[in-house]
Amino acid sequence: MKRLPPAVVPAKAGIHFDFAPAGPWRRRTKRCAALACALWPALSLATTQCPPEYGEKSLAFWALGWTVLCLFALLGLALPVVAVRSTLGRGGWLRAAWILLACLAMLGCWIAGLSIFGVYFVMVC
């Protein structure tokens, strides 16, 4: 095993694992860490259980929720495919614009599906 010269080996007392740069970023990092530690108890409120009177959700309820999510995902995937096929004979800039709009609509469709699934099926007591 090859030994490193003494100038490269750090002194045991001088080893620091400080990744924040000096200056205002260091203060900002410490403030963000303090804020995260202060908000830690609030995370337990997000995981509290529903009251017992609501009970378990049925299998049909979950099947409907997953079906809605899958329909939005498939609709989102179909939008760019339809845009590409419908703009085959068009000019380059017009075709690119339609495909870009279809990709944005696909992302919007996916976000809407996830939102509906989360609000109406997951976060419901």
Instruction: Give the tens place of pLDDT for each residue, 15-54.
Output: 555 555 556 666 777 787 777 777 777 666 666 667 777 7
CB-neighbour burial class of residue 9 (10 A; exposed 0-12, middle 13-18, buried 19+): exposed
Q: What's the whole-number mean pLDDT along residues 58-73?
A: 94
pLDDT at 117: 93
Q: How far apart are CA 101 and CA 119, in angstroms?
A: 26
Overall size of the chain counted in residues: 125
Region of poorest pLDDT, from 47-51, 77-81, 120-124:
47-51
